[in-house]
Amino acid sequence: MKNNRDLLMVKCEAKFKFPAVFIVSSGRSGTTLLASILNASEQIYIPYESDFIARAYPYYQDKNQFTEDDYRYLFRAFKLAAKQDGWGLSEDDVVSRLKERSPQTFAAVNAVIYEAFHQQEGTDQLLWGIKAPVLIASLDRIHQVCPQAKIIHIIRDGRDVYLSYQKVHKTSEIKFGPKGVMANALYWVDGLRRVEDFINANPNHQLYELRYDDLLHDPASSLKSLCGFLGIEYKPSMHERFNALERNKKVAPEHFRQSIHKKLHGGLDPNNTQKYLSAMSRLEQIKFELIAIPYLLKYGYQPERPILNTGLLAPIRSCLYFLARQFNNWRYKKRDRKVYQQAHQMNSVD
């Protein structure tokens, strides 16, 4: 017999529309590129980033009765957790919609907020998607809130990911991501291990893994397979003319278009791989591979020093992986709490 929460979810699914796909990664791995390509299918729309679904989850997932105050706090949390100042949505408009639709689960609140955006953009008839690399740490939360959603995990060689984060810290006005090579290696591995854990815990999962390198070198084959997974039609224009799509100009914020997302304007660049061979020092490569070699090999990336893949180092790696997980969990909990507190402080100021 279904419990009250199950019955609420059944009613919720019948009344509200939910995101059909989430794109996650360990960061700097092509999530914006992939979102742009999928948008060019004209069958799905993935707007600006948002990790709202994860940040508000600890405080609202178990509620089954929402008040107007809850709706207002939740929208403000969305505004804090979503790019472009909450996707450019109006608080009064969204709260009015929430009061009218009266969602009584966290999942349904998400649905109404997304609906407000897509109706505003004229994309409400398309499939909806969410893109946020950091959601790689919240796969269970995605699954709990949107159990029917499909998840795309895009993987890039961690050594090139490291170089990309270095570029962020050197050229971008907004700095984010790990800095040092060891921190990068551990962060990259932790993301992959979280996906591994999710797959192992959910044998009937709907998670698809796509290598960034394969997308660049053979976009047609990669996208045909991905489109089959998503249940949409593959079109060559997806990867041939995605950068000309007007909607895609909104995917990357203006202040990133001439820095970390500059390559989006030029289309797919098959040469944007294995940069570590020339741009990483020998010492940086050794440090990265000491930590990450098991996962480089798992995803088909050739290490420069295969000898480092020795069982003698396995206990040390396991210890480092454990510590990285604890540290990252602490950071994410801190982020959850910060969003929750700031949303309530915004209310007190008003």
**Residues 35-46: pLDDT tens digits?**
999 999 999 999
- The reported pLDDT for the residue numbered 350 is 43
What average pLDDT does the chain have? 92
Q: Are 264 and 244 in contact (CB under 8 A)?
A: no
Q: What pLDDT digit, counting tens, does each position of 170-213 carry?
A: 988 888 999 999 999 999 999 999 999 999 999 999 999 999 99
Q: What pLDDT digit, counting tens, does each position of 14-42 carry?
A: 689 999 999 999 999 999 999 999 999 99
Residues 4-349, CATH architecture: 3-Layer(aba) Sandwich (3.40)
Q: Are 157 and 131 in contact (CB under 8 A)?
A: no
Q: What pLDDT digit, counting tens, does each position of 98-157 carry?
A: 999 999 999 999 999 999 999 999 999 999 999 999 999 999 999 999 999 999 999 999
Q: Does residue 348 surpass a pLDDT of 80?
A: no
Neighbouring residues of 16: CB distance < 8 A, sequence distance ≥ 6: 101, 103, 107, 108, 111, 112, 115
* SS3 sequence of 195-259: HHHHHHHCCCCCEEEEEHHHHHHCHHHHHHHHHHHHCCCCCCHHHHCHHHCHHHHHCCCHHHHCC
**Degrees to nearest 5, angle at CA 83 with 76 and 32:** 150
- The reported pLDDT for the residue numbered 347 is 61
Q: What pLDDT digit, counting tens, does each position of 226-278 carry?
A: 999 999 999 999 999 998 888 887 776 565 555 555 556 668 999 999 999 99
Strand 207-211 versus strand 44-45 pairing type:
unpaired
- The reported pLDDT for the residue numbered 11 is 55
Neighbouring residues of 55: CB distance < 8 A, sequence distance ≥ 6: 77, 80, 81, 335, 336, 339, 340
Q: Are 92 and 79 in contact (CB under 8 A)?
A: no
Q: Are 189 and 321 in contact (CB under 8 A)?
A: yes
Residue with tokens 């295969």: 306
